[in-house]
Every structure is written in structure tokens, then in C-alpha cells.
Amino acid sequence: MMQKRTITLNGLFTADTQMAELEREQRFLRGRYESLNSGRSLPFAIVPPFGVSVPLGLAGKLRIEAPVNIDGWIVRPIAVSGETGAGHAASADTPNRSIPVCFPGFPPLPDVTAFILGYAGTDAAALVEALAAEEFTINARYYATLTVLIEFDEETFYGCTYSTGPALWQKETGSAGA
């Protein structure tokens, strides 16, 4: 029986140039996955890359770290410049993650501060290795709600539409961090 689910997240997005780079990485992952899996599509790349578990108004330049595999999810951890390790920008009271976010047919999103590039299950490690992307920093970013409407049944993902709410821009002008 066809079901519909609406998922709303508080997301982080970058300026156009950097967003285009994340989308290019996502396209690379789709193509590589299809070549490894006889033309099957990357299971989860239905929305553009988006940042999760990022506190609103986080001060400082943000460092977007190299992609990693977390439970089959391909993510780019986010840290405040000068800090090291995945998830340093997050705090225990980050509002996004009071309950796990689950898209139908997929495990919960990783509970780290990161950009989500996609889900590839057991192929995620090989895809991350093939991507070989480096970290970068962002000064300008915006926060917006990401609303995803999904149509599915128990075995099939039929369709997905998404929209973003109004952007709340933030730009770092000082020298916060490295």
C-alpha cells in the first residue's frame, strides 16, 4: 500500500560554489556506484547534500572534512576550524537530533555534525576511497529547513520531492580558528 511521509530537518547549506562542489561529489558517487552495481542507482542520493546536527549560529569558519563512511552513509564531517575530529561542532543539545531521522528503507542518519552525500550500504567504504576528496573551509553558509516528501511502500521507493525554507545567512568575517 502506498504511503507518504514528510520529513523536515534543520539543515546547513553552503554558498553556491561550494554547494556545486558537494553536488559534483554526489554525482561522482552515483556514477561509481552504478558502475560497481550493474547500473543500479545509488540507494540514497535523492536530495542535494545537506548538513545535519549543526547548531544555529555556530561561530567561526567551518571545516568540511574529507568524506567518511559511517554505517553505510557517506558523509563529510563538519568541525569548527582549529578543532579536529568528526562532530566537534555538535553539542548534546543540538535541536535536530532529539529523535533519530529515518528515511523509509534506510538506517537512521548518522548522529554526527556532517554533510550527508548519500547512502551506499556495504559499498560506502569503496566509494569513499574512490572519491579521494580533500577538506575545505567555509565562511558563508545558511541555515534552512529541508522538507522532503517521500512516496513509498514496504519494498519500493516511488518518488521524492523536496523544498528548502527561507535562508538564514551567516558569514564569518573575522579570523576565528585556523
pLDDT in tens, 45-71: 778 899 988 877 777 889 999 999 999
Side-chain-side CA neighbours of residue 30 (13 Å)? 14
End-to-end CA distance of the chain: 53
85 pLDDT exceeds 60?
A: no
Global confidence as pTM:
0.82
On whether the CB atoms of residues 70 and 87 are closer than 8 A, the answer is no
Amino acid in position 161: T
115 pLDDT exceeds 50?
A: yes
Pick the CATH number of 3-171 from 3.20.20, 1.25.40, 3.30.70, 3.90.1140: 3.90.1140
pLDDT at 82: 56
Q: Which residues pair with 171 in a beta bridge?
A: 140
What is the average per-residue pLDDT within 72-89?
Answer: 71
